[in-house]
Amino acid sequence: MAISPTLLLSLLLFTTFLSVSLHHSTADPDSDSDSESSDLVTELLYLQSQSKSGVIHLNDHIVSRFLTSTKTPRPYSLLIFFDAKHLHSKTELHLQDLHTEFSLLASSFISNNDASSASSLFFCDIEFKESQNSFSLFGVNSLPHIRLVGPNVKNPKDSEQMDQGDFSRMAESMAEFVESRTKLTVGPINRPPMLSTNQIAFLGVILLIWAFFFIKKLLTKDTFLHDWKLWLLGAVFVYFFSVSGAMFNIIRKMPMFLVDRNDPNKLVFFYQGSGMQLGAEGFAVGSLYTIVGLLLGVVTHVLVRVKNRTAQRVVMGVALVISFWAVRKVVHLDNWKTGYGVHAFWPTSWS
Amino acid sequence: MLEEDTRKLSMADGESSREATARTLRNAFGNVFSFFILLLIGILAFSIRLFSVIKYESVIHEFDPYFNYRVTQFLTKNGIYDFWNWFDDRTWYPLGRVIGGTVYPGLTLTAGTLWWLLNSLNIPLSVETVCVFTAPIFSAFASWATYLLTKEVKGTGAGLTAAVLLAMVPSYISRSVAGSYDNEAVAIFALIFTFYLYIKTLNTGSLFYATLNALAYFYMVCSWGGYTFIINLIPMHVLLCIVTGRYSSRLYIAYAPLVVLGTLLAALVPVVGFNAVMTSEHFASFLVFIIIHVVALVYHVKGNLSPRMFKVAVTLVVSVGLVVCCAMIAVLIALVASSPTKGWSGRSLSLLDPTYASKYIPIIASVSEHQPPTWPSYFMDINVLAFLVPAGIIACFLPLSDASSFVVLYIVTAVYFSGVMVRLMLVFAPAACIMSGIALSEAFNVLTRSIKFQLPGSSGISQSGDTSMNTEGEQNDIAKTEKMDETAKERPSKKNKRKEKEPVVKASIRSRIERRLLVLPLEASVIAIILLVLLGAFYVVHCVWAAAEAYSAPSIVLTTYSREGGLHVFDDFREAYAWLSHNTEVDDKVASWWDYGYQTTAMANRTVIVDNNTWNNTHIATVGTAMSSPEKAAWEIFNSLDVKYVLVVFGGLVGYPSDDINKFLWMVRIGGGVFPHIKEPDYLRDGQYRIDSQATPTMLNCLMYKLSYYRFVETDGKAFDRVRQTEIGKKYFKLTHFEEVFTTHHWMVRIYKLKPPKNRIRGKTKKSKSKASSTSSPKRSGTGKRNPWH
């Protein structure tokens, strides 16, 4: 397997050489450009086969070879992902995520299309530190940035930029963008399964063996499943997790806190308006919800068994103060957040 | 000697009998007392839901209830067989809809039966009245069912507390105010009652209750799609019991009949049909059904064999059984995996994987009921119960019984699901009430005991007397449950039980010794009781406020308070529907956006093109396309559907925000999804939706714009839209293919008629048009007088 790329390369080079020499001998200008472009395509195909995901890594030299120094119309389009290694640490840009999505798109495109249509679109990436000239050539000054260079584009700056919205939904939306601009079909995105078949089989066997022992243990009734304290802990945790609105935070991908717009040094932990909440806010209120109930439960079921009167008094006092404060705090926060004016309906003569 | 003995014996007899009579008297008194408390709870549950009737009127609310109301009307008029076979040709013209096979009939049949019963008792209530009050009545039933369920778990006190909490929990009120005639109104009662019967069967091991349980489950399946929660929760509990070593024959009796009878009965409901055995939502119950049989067999064999023989048998059976099991599970997985959605409906999947809906099904994700809730939603919907639930969970674990483990499982699953979808808060609320009821009752129990036995006035004698009585009662209870256990349990498991019994008795003795010490400091208890009562009072205030202010608006009649404090009523919807029913032919077709379909068929009795049962996307897209096309194209589409009248809802004059202009982008999107010549960007200026002078020409020429803003400039001279807070883009224009026939008092509903196809006699139509426009001129006095149906 390992030999085949090199073998292929030598074959390709050989045929290229042959065809080039042949064409040169005929000296027809039209076929000359034809051969030149087919040349470029084969070279691109070679470069593509070199990379594992099918994404060609560009540098200033390759850019000039395939883009700036070629005549239009080119027989291929290039979809270029602009990358910067030193920005990978900035998670809010999602550069790495987007790059993996981009590679997925590339590999899916190559596997879904036959050779003729697969050679009309190539997926490339380019790194900022390596090829700063190309970045300025394209006029790219912010990331993430993806550009489609169509066959007729002369000046790289005229090439089409993918909107923020087009790569927000990952490979599928990038595919839509490509399909709408190039009249090519990408086909379904082939995401690699989380586990390979071997791993699944291995895990299955382990599970089977474990199940044997587990059932045996189950019959003797001394597993962690028989420990009620664990169940209690789990139940209270699920309760805490849900009432704090953590599911909202996960589904909407809410941050834990925001930075105040007016004063960047200040952090905003509580968001006013009932339709939204921040992560930290939810967990804070969730723990207030939970702590009161837990204290009440402890007082009614554990504290009564304590024999020391003073200890009872102290614990109860603390519990009462904390509960009172927590309830007041939640009521106050709720009124502030939602703006509802909850009021009682007293008889009018009372006021 | 002998005489003395007998005398002593008789004396002891007399004493014990006196004590017994005292106890029965106290029990009887307690029973009567709790009966009256329950009655009051029922009245409370009913009457707290009447705010909507008092503040507005006795009217059906919103959209879906109108459909249910119409179906009920049909049922009472034509009988059950016609209802079952009803093909409705008044909706989805020209397709129609098979009503009998596509609705959950529980609610309709319930209200229909109620109406029939009342009428046969010579109480002549109208169908509408019965429908309006069905939900409050069933809330009373639901709180009684909660009492029964909690009583099975933790005794009468907890039951009563839970019932009173459920009677006024805001989450449930929001779906069951008078007039909110929807499936959930009866389904929550059915849900709780099914759970009660399951627990009852589990505690008694009686086949009678098991059968009732299957019937209650059938009623739940009839009523609401949420029945899948039951058929997944109960198997989960059974599995939990088996895994934690709590298997008993009572468990078998509680579960096996439910699955067999329940599935058969569920398949009888047309809307469920073979789904009861074919979809993955039900597979869990079958899997557990197999497991419980295997376990039952193991227990049976274990009872008949000696321990050593049993060990041999186990190794044999486990190794063979495991192989068989693996093969079956593999087949099952292959079966499930072969279907595209893995056999699960999108909604269920989004419960298991919360991010599923937002990724793949925008239709589900876009509905506001399916959004995940934030923490204020919990405070709004269950209020202070959110604080009490953890205490209830702790109480359920001390000690853990079959019943209390069930409620723990119920609350854990329900709270997780409610975290994913705000709509499921409704299922969570009863669980929260049960848990809080248990917590409050336990807390009051401990605190009042602490006060009672430590009051300065109380003497030691009464203390010891009381405690002994208490423990005696407890012992009695234990004896009773043991007897119950004995009768219920199979012989094979008796051996195990003997072993179990001894520690129980020991524990009871220990508790008798300890009980004298189980008190808290007096002053702290007093403060705690005061704080708990305050918490309860806050809950009551909040619930009454929520019922009165937040959840009572019927949305068919709108009210606002003017600055002087006066009440202003907007009754435009009913005005428009009444106009339709009095001024159009019976077979005329009315086109509107689907939101108003149910109301138009129910109130105006006219045929509609699309309605709130959004089963046919193409049809909806056709209407959307017509609304977003220019006048001529729209006329052609509507004419091809035999439409005579077009109804639009317009809030620009009074500032009613949920009008058709605000929904218009959805019409464009849905229309464009099927008919590609409608493109959303054509209606947007730089990605912004606007109707002012910056609006795109496509927007300004589409039918929806024209029908909404026709003659709008005549109202104030500037044509200022109060919803969009801007002056509209095109103020003066004429309609060529439509003519205005009716506009309501506040311009909230506008009805247009399609002009006849051949429009040759220009002069005549013009004259009639000018007449029509003067009829509905903004001068209100004119409208009032010319109103054709006065």
Mean pLDDT of B156-172: 95
Which residues from A are below 8 Å from B538, CB to CB?
331
Mean pLDDT of B440-445: 94
- Chain A residue whose CA is closest to B381: A243
Checking DSSP bridges between strand B558-561 and strand B97-98, what pairing results, if any?
unpaired
Mean pLDDT of B7-27: 76
Which residues from A are below 8 Å from B420, CB to CB?
247, 251
- Give pLDDT tens digits for B703-715: 999 999 998 888 8
Residue B177 has pLDDT above 70, yes or no: yes
H/E stretch holding A252 reads: helix A246-252
CB B56 within 8 A of CB B132: no
Whole-number Å distance between alpha carbons of B192 and B213 = 11
Whether A292 and B544 lie within 8 Å, measured CB to CB: no
CA distances (Å), B515 to each of B439, B502, B511, in order? Answer: 19, 20, 6
- Give pLDDT tens digits for B264-298: 999 999 989 888 888 878 888 998 998 899 889 88
Whole-number Å distance between alpha carbons of B526 and B38 = 27
Residue B360 has pLDDT above 60, yes or no: no
Quote the pLDDT of residue B289.
93
Whether A293 and B387 lie within 8 Å, measured CB to CB: yes
CA B733 to centroid of chain Cα atoms: 48
Quote the pLDDT of residue A3.
46
In chain A, DSSP finds a helix count (H) and a strand count (E) of 13, 7
CB burial readout A245-271, b (16+ within 10 A) else e: bbbbbbbbebeeeeeeeeeeeeebeeb
- The position carrying tokens 């026709």 is B710
Quote the pLDDT of residue A324.
95
Which residues from A are below 8 Å from B418, CB to CB?
242
Q: Starting from the edge strand earliest in sequence, which strands make up the sheet with A121-127, in order?
A: A55-58, A121-127, A77-83, A145-149, A160-161
Nearest CB to B518; choose among A274, A298, A304: A304
Which residues from B are below 8 Å from A327, CB to CB?
384, 387, 535
- Chain A residue whose CA is closest to B353: A251
Whether B375 and A299 lie within 8 Å, measured CB to CB: no
Average pLDDT, chain B: 83
Whether A276 and B314 lie within 8 Å, measured CB to CB: no
The dihedrals phi and psi of B740, each to the nearest 5 degrees, come to -75, 130
* Largest separation between any pair of C-alpha atoms in chain A: 111
CA A66 to centroid of chain Cα atoms: 31
Angle between the N-to-C axes of helices A228-243 and A279-301, in degrees from 0 to 180, rounded to the nearest 10:
140
Which residues from B are below 8 Å from A225, CB to CB?
243-244
Whether A248 and B416 lie within 8 Å, measured CB to CB: no
Whole-number Å distance between alpha carbons of B436 and B388 = 5
Residues (pLDDT < 50) of chain A are: 1-3, 20-31
- Chain B residue whose CA is closest to A299: B443
Whole-number Å distance between alpha carbons of B154 and B736 = 73
Q: Which amino acid is at B393?
A: I
Which residues from B are below 8 Å from A304, CB to CB?
446, 450, 518-520
CB B163 within 8 A of CB B105: no
Shortest distance, CA A257 to any CA of chain B (angstroms): 15
Nearest CB to A248; choose among B372, B447, B521: B372
Residue B624 has pLDDT above 50, yes or no: yes
Q: Which amino acid is at A245?
A: G
Helix, strand, coil shares of chain B, percent, nearest 5, are 70, 5, 25
Question: Which of the residues B154, B294, B295, B374 would you substitute to probe the A interface, choosing the one with the greatest number of A C-beta atoms within 10 Å?
Answer: B374
Shortest distance, CA A106 to any CA of chain B (angstroms): 22
Task: For residue B738, name the pLDDT band (cuts at 50, 70, 90).
Answer: very high
Whether B245 and A330 lie within 8 Å, measured CB to CB: no
Tokens of B496: 């195990």
- Chain A residue whose CA is closest to B525: A316
Residue B34 has pLDDT above 90, yes or no: yes
Shortest distance, CA A301 to any CA of chain B (angstroms): 7
Which residues from A are below 8 Å from B518, CB to CB?
304-305
Note if the bond before B399 is cis, omega within 30 degrees.
Answer: yes
CB burial readout B334-346, b (16+ within 10 A) else e: eeeeeeeeebbee
- Give pLDDT tens digits for B463-474: 443 444 444 444
Cβ-Cβ contacts under 8 Å for A304 (sequence gap 6 or more):
B446, B450, B518, B519, B520
- The position carrying tokens 């404090």 is B565
Whether B544 and A212 lie within 8 Å, measured CB to CB: no
Q: What angle do CA A148, A154, A159 make, to 5 degrees?
A: 25
Per the model's pLDDT, the better-predicted residue between B604 and A129 turns out to be B604
Whether A312 and B544 lie within 8 Å, measured CB to CB: no
Most confident range, picked from B37-46, B566-575, B631-640: B37-46
Tokens of B372: 């995940």
pLDDT over 70 percentage in chain B:
82
Q: Is the dihedral of CA B176, B178, B179, B181 positive or negative?
A: positive
- Give pLDDT tens digits for B361-412: 554 555 667 788 889 999 999 989 999 999 999 999 988 899 999 999 999 9
Fill in the DSSP letter of residue B680. Answer: G
Mean pLDDT of B107-121: 95
Whether B314 and A219 lie within 8 Å, measured CB to CB: yes
